[in-house]
Structure 1
């Protein structure tokens, strides 16, 4: 988990990264929480439109019941996260292929939020070519 360890130790700049490690979500969660970070996971299987993605992101980050299911609401929820959070987004490829505009807008928002500190996002799985650095 060397790339992940680098994130957790602050050796990598905050941001959105591609990550090709095959560790199970429970193992990643354990490592992340052991380092004192909060862990969230988006399971992107079957997520192919904005509505499904907003729901999956909201569920992953523990959005309240009144969550608005839009980009502003995602920003607000992420802004209010206590402590650092690692968001593991498994199977990001379906939304990136089906609705590239939504995928690009969401990853841009996640990157902007990560640059403020306290958030790292790992995109894991196969997908189209994207301009995101690899953590591997």
Structure 2
């Protein structure tokens, strides 16, 4: 289950007053603004655009393209988990304060491919938990 982002919103997540997690992006917030706030706070941010994605293969392809996965990404669930728990490919110019992934059009993806969305959500949740307590935590916002 996905939690609603507390009242302090994205700024609270970026300052640590809200613990990293998998949250629903408030309807009053845009993915662009959330990513910009993250970048301003020294976090690495990426937008995963899921419009028109209707199956596992398309989801994995979009992850590879939008997130800039390394060439070794194997286009399967295990490889997705590996990429999200080894973020060496996402580090540029040193260690960021954290990692923010904004998954846009999540509800449409979930409706089109409920089984794939369920597996993807589990992998995203596991990645967030893996990075919790690390110097650079990860958070995921479903928009």
Report Cα offsets for 1:35-84 as digits up to 9, x if no partner.
11100111111011111111112223221123111111111111122442
Matched, 1:51 2:57: yes
The reply on whether 1:5 has 2:15 as its aligned counterpart is no
Q: Distance in 2 between matches of 1:2 and 1:14?
A: 13
Runs of 4+ in 1 over 6 A off after TM superposition: none
- Aligned pair count reads 123
In structure 1, what is the Cα distance between the partners aligned to 2:39 and 2:11?
12
User: How far apart are 1:4 and its partner, in Å?
Assistant: 0.4
Unaligned runs of at least 5 residues, structure 1: 125-136
**Higher RCO (CA 8 Å, separation ≥ 6 residues):** 1
Taking the aligned partners of 2:31 and 2:140, their CA distance within structure 1 comes to: 16
1:119 CA displacement: 1.1
Q: CA RMSD in A?
A: 1.7
> Secondary structure in 1 aligned to 2:71?
coil
CA distance in structure 2 between the aligned counterparts of 1:75 and 1:55, rounded to whole angstroms? 14
Shift of 1:111: 0.8
Q: Distance in 2 between matches of 1:24 and 1:105?
A: 23
Counterpart of 2:127 (choices 98, 113, 119) is: 113
Equivalent of 1:32 in 26, 30, 38: 38
